[in-house]
Structure 1
């Protein structure tokens, strides 16, 4: 794949996605996941119509869908971040997500729900209902780096992105968000484990307290703003 032109690389990515995923987004086999990750690992900014990595290049906070593709490829999008911008902690219910950092550095903090489900409810508190989660990822990804994958119940299904430098991320989501299908994006605030632990039956013994957090659902943050851009990369045959 390394020797492919920009256009053929994007075409190969499109073709592989359409043959790998079903409309319902059933999790593909391990070999299929590996094959897709290997192809994503070869994708560079220029392949999708972005400039090569440049410390002074900051296209602005937003995203664009690869809208020259057919409706079957709505799960593909690219997010561009200016320095210090944040996509707050949110989930991907029933979804598998492939993330490839195209340029720059991005801090990722991600959790998975603890199973069996552990919910703590308190009376007279503004955060009356929280759910226990375990930290899965807490690190900075700097391009070039390998593709990250999160699964419905592992790998950090709930994550937060913070731009350390101007950066861009190519995401492939399968299946896509759909409120009608019960895949609504929900935002959360994470609280340390200890303030809620006393007397709630959620004592932990197999790991450190800092590996756990209580997550409370919140409304979509008022200061969350993303504008949709226009894909200017290579055309794709569908």
Structure 2
């Protein structure tokens, strides 16, 4: 064999170095992969543990009751409430949508409660009012009417009112004022029915129909939608009322009651309507609160409202 040159040795050494390096690299990779596998398993266990910990620490989802949702919506819709101020159309629809979903059970009502029972004696049955909430911006309450119960014709000055029939059948008759019509001088057409103080004002019928639940929420406005209305219970029924703003004597929002008379009962100079429209008009006359109207308060037993 010939003598090995330095180049041969270096080539051998280099080859061995490459081999050793390759072996070491493979060994390191094995160790690295082993550690990686251990770390991956550890990470998976750690993530799972953290997820379980977060799940245990996470509070349960808060369930908002329908009446709480109604209250919160009223706060938003009537935030700028005041006499004659009507919420914007989108706010109106927002509140209407919430009311349309309200059910009797959502406010703690059933038709079998005692204040829905028919009267024992023949007289105007008392009407029960369940007060839910009132502030300077709006009020929420429920009128409970037994069969034949009547809320007489009355107004809502400068107010926007939402009425949701919760159950039963109710007859609603409502009016809006007719503007630019004389209302001070009047005489009786039928002298046998002369009214002692015939100071009357012309109004047009807006609604005169029976409503049976479930039905859409009705809305009246300061000058439209039937601001003066009368409720008559055909069957036992309950109606959830939202008023914005509420009645307030100091601010001039008084509840006024009215008699209503057919258009043909009085002749007022300058006041005329087409023949076919006469049955859709009436003369309204202010009156004292009816003596046979009895409204009693009762405890609201539905879900509690949180005023946050």
Q: Distance in 2 between matches of 1:103 and 1:113?
A: 30
State whether residues 74 and 176 of structure 1, in contact with CA within 8 Å, keep that contact through their aligned partners in structure 2: yes
| Aligned mates of 2:63, 2:238 — CA distance in 1 | 17
For 2:138 and 2:93, the matched residues in 1 are separated by 21
Q: Which residue of 1 aligns with 2:67?
A: 10
| TM-score, normalisation: structure 2 | 0.70
Structure 1 or 2: larger strand share?
Answer: 1
2:219 aligned residue: 149
Alignment of 1:103-114 (within 5 A): 103-114=167-178
Distance apart, 1:57 and its partner CA = 8.1
Partner Cα separation in structure 1 for residue 91 and residue 182 of structure 2: 33
Residue 290 of structure 2 corresponds to which residue in structure 1? 221
Give the corresponding residue for 2:159.
95
Give, in angstroms, the shift of residue 205 of structure 1: 2.8
Distance 2:74 2:221 in 1: 16
8 Å contact kept, 2:164–2:216? yes
Q: Is the 8 A contact 1:47 1:234 kept in 2?
A: yes
Whole-Å Cα distance in 1 between the matches of residues 138 and 297 of structure 2? 14
Whole-angstrom CA distance in 1 between matches of 2:138 and 2:256: 19
Structure 1 pair 204/16, CA: closer, same or farther in 2 (3 Å)? Answer: same
Match of 1:62 in 2: 128
Runs (4+) off by over 4 Å: 53-57
Determine the C-alpha separation between the residues in 1 that align with 2:294 and 2:216.
28
Aligned-partner SS, 2:200 = strand
- Where does residue 103 of structure 2 map in the other structure? 44
Contiguous gaps of at least 5 residues in structure 1: none
Counterparts of 1:88-237 in structure 2 under 5 Å?
88-122=152-186, 125-197=195-267, 200-205=269-274, 208-237=277-306
Moved more, 113-122 or 40-49: 113-122
Does 1 or 2 have the higher relative contact order (CA < 8 Å, sep 6+)?
Answer: 1
Aligned pair count reads 230
Cα displacement (A) at 1:72: 5.0
Q: Which structure has the highest helix share of the two?
A: 2
Structure 2: state its 5+ residue gaps. 1-61, 118-125, 188-193
Please give the alpha-carbon distance, in whole angstroms, between the structure 2 residues aligned to 1:125 and 1:46: 46
Question: SS where residue 39 of structure 1 aligns?
Answer: helix
Partners of 1:117 and 1:136 in 2: how far apart? Answer: 17
CA shift in 2, pair 1:206/1:151, >3 Å: farther
Cα distance in 2 for residues equivalent to 1:54 and 1:179: 35
Matches of 1:6 and 1:97, distance apart in 2: 28
Work out the CA distance in 1 between the residues paired with 2:300 and 2:114.
Answer: 21
Q: CA deviation at 1:236?
A: 1.5
TM-score (norm: length of structure 1): 0.89
Which digits, 9 at most, give the CA deviation of each residue in 1:176-209, with x for residues without a partner? 1011111100000000101213x52101138510
How many Å separate the matches in 2 of 1:159 and 1:194?
21
Q: CA RMSD in A?
A: 2.3
